[in-house]
């Protein structure tokens, strides 16, 4: 069994649904797909997308992204209720949201461990991945979560990132008898936000920042997630959220993103390697990471 990675499917776009429909119905029948969040804010599209992927892959593993918890086009009271409904939908469709061992013990198995996570803003915690940006606006009026996400008005949700990370206790407090591949939606390290030399070379010297006053690092992720990744002993961590496809290795852990993203981003080659389909990341027969240098 092979393991593939993909995130930020954004099935709300017809172009993205067509991209997913064009995935081979034969090539992945024995394989696992890690979906690192942002399938759709619509539960009906979420269900149909999971069904499409389940017809193509033997196993789907999933964590929720921020778009998945938007309150548009549904009757949920808040994003906590939306999260609970999403988990119920995954259970009904046999989508894995808990640690699972992939591959047989007589080959080279691996544990796939989903980690729920949210971002820390700089005013929330020292764990924020915030990096100052010249000319940035201090507010986040461009950030749709401000309007589409609503958490319950309780002390537990004063810092959603802490609530999300606490949900991972069951995954952290156990022993793993094979290598661990973990995944989340948000970023675990600030380094993952910055373009690699290969990206800069591909973009060319004339590329400009399309949102010079928006600083993504305010909502990128949390370094507390990285402490959990390393506590697990993960060799590889898959993430999404930023819509940039890159790989980096820091102190023994490889961090990898492979996002489908928005059609307009693919049109201007902002998503390296996506034209080749989901990213292969593990082969249980070989017991190794695949194509680790792609987009590095």
Q: Report all structural domains of the chain as residue ranges with CATH numbers, in order of start.
A: 2-283 (3.60.21.10)
Does the pLDDT at position 296 exceed 70?
A: no
Residue 69 CA neighbour count, 13 Å, CB half:
24
Bridge partners (DSSP) of residue 254 are 236, 249
Spatial distance between the Cα atoms of 220 and 87, rounded to a whole number of angstroms: 23
Question: The tokens of 258 are what?
Answer: 């492979």
Q: What is the mean pLDDT of residues 138-147?
A: 88
Spatial distance between the Cα atoms of 49 and 288, rounded to a whole number of angstroms: 29
Does the pLDDT at position 291 exceed 60?
A: no
Query: Is the distance from CB of 246 to CB of 253 less than 8 angstroms?
Result: no
pLDDT-above-70 percentage for the chain: 97
Tell me the whole-structure pTM to 2 decimals. Answer: 0.94
DSSP 181: E
DSSP reduced 3-state for 113: strand
- Confidence tier at 268 by pLDDT (50, 70, 90): confident
DSSP reduced 3-state for 119: coil
Question: The tokens of 14 are what?
Answer: 């017809």
DSSP reduced 3-state for 59: strand
10 Å CB burial of residue 31 (0-12, 13-18, 19+) is buried
Q: What is the mean pLDDT of residues 233-254?
A: 94
- Confidence tier at 71 by pLDDT (50, 70, 90): very high
Q: Rounded to whole angstroms, what are the CA distances from 238 to 62, 155, 176?
A: 11, 30, 18
Spatial distance between the Cα atoms of 211 and 36, rounded to a whole number of angstroms: 24
Does the pLDDT at position 74 exceed 80?
A: no
**Contacts (Cβ under 8 Å, ≥6 apart) of 77:** none
Query: Is the distance from CB of 32 to CB of 112 less than 8 angstroms?
Result: yes
Provide the mean pLDDT of the chain.
Answer: 92
Does the pLDDT at position 27 exceed 90?
A: yes
pLDDT at 290: 55
Question: What does the angle CA 172 – CA 177 – CA 182 come to, to the nearest 5 degrees?
Answer: 45
Spatial distance between the Cα atoms of 118 and 165, rounded to a whole number of angstroms: 8
Spatial distance between the Cα atoms of 142 and 264, rounded to a whole number of angstroms: 18
The better pLDDT of the pair 107, 186 is held by 186
């Amino acid at each position: 069994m092979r393991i593939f990675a993909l995130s930020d499917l954004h099935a709300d776009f017809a172009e993205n649904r067509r991209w997913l429909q064009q995935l081979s119905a034969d090539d992945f029948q024995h394989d696992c797909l890690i979906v690192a969040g942002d399938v759709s804010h619509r539960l009906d599209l979420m269900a149909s997308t999971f069904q499409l992927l389940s017809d193509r892959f033997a196993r789907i593993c999933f964590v929720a992204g921020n778009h998945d918890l938007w309150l548009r086009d549904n009757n949920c009271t808040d994003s906590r209720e939306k999260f609970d409904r999403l988990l119920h939908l995954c259970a009904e469709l046999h989508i894995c949201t808990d640690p699972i061992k992939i591959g047989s013990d007589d080959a080279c198995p691996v544990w796939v461990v989903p980690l729920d996570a949210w971002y820390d803003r700089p005013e929330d915690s020292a764990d924020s991945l915030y990096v100052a940006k010249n000319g940035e606006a201090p507010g986040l009026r461009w950030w749709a979560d401000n309007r589409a996400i609503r958490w319950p008005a309780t002390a537990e949700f004063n810092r959603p990132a802490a609530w999300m990370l606490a949900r991972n206790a069951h995954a952290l407090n156990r022993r793993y008898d094979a290598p661990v591949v973990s995944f989340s939606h948000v970023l675990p390290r600030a380094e993952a936000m910055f373009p690699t030399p290969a990206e800069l070379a591909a973009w060319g010297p004339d590329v400009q920042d399309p949102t010079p006053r928006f600083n993504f690092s305010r909502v990128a992720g949390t370094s507390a997630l990285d402490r959990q990744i390393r506590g697990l002993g993960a060799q590889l961590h898959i993430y999404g959220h930023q819509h940039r496809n890159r790989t980096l290795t820091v102190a023994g852990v490889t961090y990898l993103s492979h996002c489908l993203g928005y059609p307009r981003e693919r049109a201007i080659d902002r998503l390296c390697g996506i034209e080749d389909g989901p990213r292969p990341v593990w082969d249980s027969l070989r017991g190794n990471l695949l194509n680790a240098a792609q987009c590095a």
